[in-house]
Each structure stands twice: as structure tokens, then as C-alpha cells.
Amino acid sequence: MGHFTLRVALAQLNTVVGDIAGNADKIRAAIRDSAELGTDVLLVPELALSGYPPEDLLLRPSFARESRQALDDLAAEVRRGVAIIGFAEWDRDCFNSVGLVADGRVQSVYRKRFLPNYGVFDEARYFQAGQETAVIDVNGSRVAPAVCEDVWYPTAASLDLVAARPDLVAVASASPYFQGKGDRREAMLATRAADAGAALAFCNQVGGQDELVFDGRSAVFDSAGEVIARASEFEEELLVADLEPAAAERRRLREPLVRRLPGDGPRQAAPLEALAAAPGPPIERRIAPTLEPAAQVWNALRVGLRDYVDKNGFPGVVVGLSGGIDSSLAVAIAADALGPERTLGVSLPSRFTSEESKVGASDLAEALGIRLVEVPISGSVDALEAALEDVLSGHERDVTEENLQARARGTLLMAISNKLGHLVLATGNKSEMSVGYSTLYGDMVGGFAPLRDVSKTWVYRLARWRNTSEGREVIPSAVIERPPTAELRPGQLDTDSLPAYDVLDPILTDYVENDLTPEELVAAGHAPDVTERVVRMVDRAEYKRRQGPIGIKITPRAFGKDRRMPITSRHAES
């Protein structure tokens, strides 16, 4: 196994944006825990002191100054070894920085050089880019700090790191989750480590922040790009690993590829005063297993919902439980995230609600152990229709009367929320949101939509996974197998208004997430008439989506910060 000389700790933390004091307390605990383990280098996530992403809080210089003050206060806790701590820095401009802390003070600062400005990222709006690579000497080992995007691509920042001949690249990150990203990210980081001929430590944030959820999955790679330590997904953890810097030196001699790179060659390590860490107990190597895809998505939804509710101080959630698949999945996620005692199901039957729906809601509530109350809406709908009788006289009954039912339900759920303080969860999925198959101020009512980025196909997949993982029928099989229906008129089915979901969802993936044109969609095998209809529905529904509640991003391109289309537009794809 070799003689290890450098011990690295990665504090995978769940921070809260704006809670500088609370975040500092988490970092302080990590400093103390890692010191007890004899850690030479402690690494925490990107902008750990401010939380990520702080958004327009960064437009207030006082916010960054408070972040720096907290860093200086924390520095007194670091007496042995080095801590690399992410913070927002104000120096006549704002920087995404890490403080290099040792011997009780901030010895120097590294500023993020490569600022992402795509998808959910707006860092060019807030930060000035740094210009310099830093290398510090930690007990005879060369350590180069980097911040997230600095190593994401083979850019000048990455090349400069390689040219600096570090023994360890220490990457502070806030990399949000979407399906498949963890594997892709790990493969990229392994390549960066191998390219540099250096060990690489990647410390990622974990937890939910509004529509983003961070999966953690911090990891340490050796100089050949092999994973030698990995933290759990979606959980806070202090991951510790021992490294042999001499192995990196030997590899660079055997494979001297960095000699051909442009640049200034090896940089002198910055002077840094640090007492050597006290020897700690032996560390058992930990490589946490990764979750399978459905388990990853479930945990992303669970953690994202839990943190939105808890960080915003809601005592619990209320869900309109129709007996259908979407509300059943949403309430199951809520019960997992918050516990049954904080999850209230509300059945809101109308004259069109089937006995099958009532039984499905009741069976699910019993399986989850949540409270279920019934609030019939027939009287409310009758009163609304009576109030509108004169103004709508002479018009045939149509979708207007159907939507009154959804809006009556929304009003009653919000009344319960107002009285109890619970957050209303909207239960619509991405397929419905994409094409506008929803009622404004009706089933779209709510403060948070956990399934907003979950296609109908994935709704079914997650429901089946939940039952399999539990080893029992939590979501009733009758609910899963039943054709989806809004039950706003007799015999209504979703397929009366939409293509079948196994036809619809692939078109939506290609159009919304992959940006294929209608011509490319048809060339990919989608039926021309269905494609034209779906594209038109997606484009027309932008105004609805803009008014809906936020939800958890789980795909590479979610509505909202990812996909930003104008509401008023005369450009049509079809």
C-alpha cells in the first residue's frame, strides 16, 4: 500500500445561502474533526461560507465583506495543516475565491479563473475572473487549489495547473446534480488527474438550494486517475484519504508529457507558514458505492424537497391526493423527505371522482402512515357556477367548467396552507408542464413542484422503484396500472388531449432538452403530425410555465434557469 505522507480531508457540506454564521459553524466543526484525524489539507466546497449560488446577494459589497470577516474568524481555528475555504471576496470587485488558511491566519487567496455562464450558471454577472495559478507548499508537497470550472475543460487554467507540477490539485466545487452527471464528472476529473500526473481531490457541495440539488459525491483520484476515495451521494460527510506525493513525481518522470506543454514550467510554491499536522489514527480507505439511476433521482427529489421545506421554515407540506399516479408519487417523496407526521394528504372529490380514485388515495395514505382528510368540492363548484350563471349565459359548457373544479381545489388547498402554515406541493410533471396540460390557479397552485422536471415516463419508473426498494406495495399497483385521467368530466383520459406518453416524452426530450428542430425531430423518427402538434403546444405554454412554482432540476435542461424562452414571440418552429 506504500508509505503515505499527505492526509487530505474533504468536508462535503450542506450549506444555506446567506447563512454565513451557520455555514461557518459547519466549517468550524469540519476543521476540528479533521484536526483530530491528523489532516494535512482540509478542503470545503466552493463559496461554502456564503452558500451557492448567492445570486444577487453578491451585488451587495457588504455581503462579500461579511464573508471575508467570517473567513478571518475561522482562520484562528486552523493551527496545524492547511484549510482551503471557499468564500465571496470583495476587492474593488467581487471574486469567487478560496482562502488558503494556515497557522491561524489567511495566508493567501486563490481566485476562480474560469467563470461559467450557461445553463443555471450566471457567474459572469457577479464575478471578476482571477488571473493567476497558485501553488502552495504543504509539508514538502506541492498543492494547487482550483475552483470547479477551472478544471472542467482543457482550458488555459487547466494547462497552467499541469505546468505547475503539483502533487495535489485541490478542487472546491458546487456542481449541481442532473441525471448521469456524476459519472460524467468523475470521468472528467480522472482525466484531469492523469493529465497533470497529480492526485486530485474534488470536494462538492451537497443538499438542496431552491430548484438546484447538489449530489456531493466528493472524490479523491490518484495521479493515474483512479478513484481511491469517494463520499456518499446526497449526504453530508467528511471524507479522508491518504496520498503518497512521491507517486505523482514518479509518474511525471515516467510519462513526461507536461514537458511539452506551453507555459512557464514549474512555479515556485508560495510561501506558507503551517505547522505539520499531528499524526492521526490510520484511515481505512472508503469508496462509497454509487446509486443506480432511479435511486439517484429519488434521492435528488427527496433531498431537494426536504431542504426547500426545512431551510425556508415550513412545518410541513399539504398535497392534494387525487388517487392518481402524480399525486401519489409526490406524497410518497414528501413522506420520505419529511416524515409522515409532516405530510398531510387532502382528498378533494367532485361528482366525477371515481371510487377507484378514493380507494387509491386511502390505500396510499395508509401505506405511508400519513394523515388523509377529505374536503368535497361539489358545493364549492356549484356556488362558483351559480355566481357565473348570468355572465356566462348562452355559452355551452366546456373546459371552463372543468377548470372551475381544479381552481376550487387550489383555493381550498391554499386555505389549509394559510391556516396550518404548510407548504402546498403542486403535483404536475414535466410532460404536462411542457405542453400546458394544466390549469393556471388550479392544479398548478403550490409553492413547490417536486415533479416539475420529471417526465411522466419517469413518474411511473420512480413509482415502481419505490415499491421495489421498500419490498412492499407502497404506491398501489392499481394506481400505477390505471390509465391517467384528470377526472374533470365523465370518462376523461389524458390521451383525449395528448399523445400517449410513450410517444410524447421522447419528442419532448428531443425538443426541450436536445433542442432539435421539427425537421430534425421527424428525421429522428417522430411522426410529422404529432411532432408539429407537440412543438406548437410547447411553444404556446410558456406563459403558463412562467407562472408555475419552481421544482427540482434533475435533467440536463430544465424549464426556468436552464431553458429561457420569451413569452411574447412571433418565431415559430413549426
How does pLDDT run across 360-405, given as a tens digit for each residue? Answer: 899 999 999 999 999 999 999 999 999 999 999 989 888 898 899 9
Q: Looking at the structure, do residues 21 and 100 belong to the same domain, yes or no?
A: yes
pLDDT at residue 269, rounded to an integer: 63
Asked if the structure places residue 356 within a domain, the reply is yes
Q: Looking at the structure, do residues 338 and 251 belong to the same domain, yes or no?
A: no
Asked if the structure places residue 498 within a domain, the reply is no
pLDDT at residue 31, rounded to an integer: 97
Q: Looking at the structure, do residues 326 and 396 belong to the same domain, yes or no?
A: yes
pLDDT tens profile 72-110: 999 999 999 999 999 999 999 999 999 999 999 999 999
Number of neighbouring beta carbons within 10 Å of residue 55: 14
Section 348-357 average pLDDT: 86
The dihedral formed by the CA atoms of 490, 495, 496 and 498, expressed in degrees to the nearest 10: 140
Asked if the structure places residue 484 within a domain, the reply is yes
H/E stretch holding 203: strand 199-204
Alpha helices per DSSP H over 204-353: 245-254, 293-311, 325-338
Catalytic residue among 26, 112, 456, 553: 112
pLDDT at residue 484, rounded to an integer: 76
Asked if the structure places residue 284 within a domain, the reply is no
Nearest in space to 444 (alpha carbons), one of 545, 569, 339: 545
Give me the CATH number covering residue 37: 3.60.110.10
> Do 88 and 96 contact (CB within 8 A), yes or no?
yes
> Does the predicted TM-score (pTM) go above 0.85?
yes
| Alpha-carbon span 348 to 385, nearest angstrom | 18
pLDDT at residue 301, rounded to an integer: 98
Kindly state the DSSP code that residue 513 receives in the 8-state scheme. Answer: I
| Alpha-carbon span 309 to 42, nearest angstrom | 30
| Alpha-carbon span 154 to 279, nearest angstrom | 37
Asked if the structure places residue 173 within a domain, the reply is yes
Q: Looking at the structure, do residues 255 and 309 belong to the same domain, yes or no?
A: no
Q: What is the domain extent for residue 214?
A: 7-260
* Reported confidence tier of residue 1, pLDDT bands at 50, 70, 90: very low
- Output the nine-digit C-alpha cell for 86: 471557499
544 is an active site residue = no
112 is an active site residue = yes
Nearest in space to 67 (alpha carbons), one of 41, 46, 83: 46
H/E stretch holding 505: helix 501-508
pLDDT tens profile 514-551: 999 999 999 999 999 999 999 999 999 999 999 999 99
- Output the nine-digit C-alpha cell for 48: 461554502
| Alpha-carbon span 237 to 168, nearest angstrom | 21
Query: 275 vs 195, which has greater pLDDT?
Result: 195
Domain end residue (candidates: 493, 512, 533): 493
Q: What whole-number percentage of the chain has pLDDT above 70?
A: 94
Asked if the structure places residue 107 within a domain, the reply is yes
* Reported confidence tier of residue 2, pLDDT bands at 50, 70, 90: very low
Domain end residue (candidates: 260, 276, 303): 260
pLDDT at 455 over 90: yes
Domain end residue (candidates: 436, 464, 493): 493
The residues pairing with 216 across neighbouring beta strands, listed in sequence order, are 233
Nearest in space to 483 (alpha carbons), one of 469, 502, 455: 502
553 is an active site residue = no
Section 346-354 average pLDDT: 89
pLDDT at 323 over 50: yes
Q: What's the total number of domains in the chain?
A: 2
Section 491-516 average pLDDT: 89
> Do 553 and 214 contact (CB within 8 A), yes or no?
no
Catalytic residue among 89, 94, 123, 148: 148
Looking at this protein, which amino acid is placed at residue 107?
Q
Catalytic residue among 26, 46, 203, 211: 46
Q: Looking at the structure, do residues 328 and 415 belong to the same domain, yes or no?
A: yes
Q: Which residues are CB-neighbours of 518 under 8 A, at least 6 positions away?
A: 531, 532, 535, 573, 574
H/E stretch holding 72: helix 61-75
pLDDT at residue 3, rounded to an integer: 43
Give me the CATH number covering residue 406: 3.40.50.620
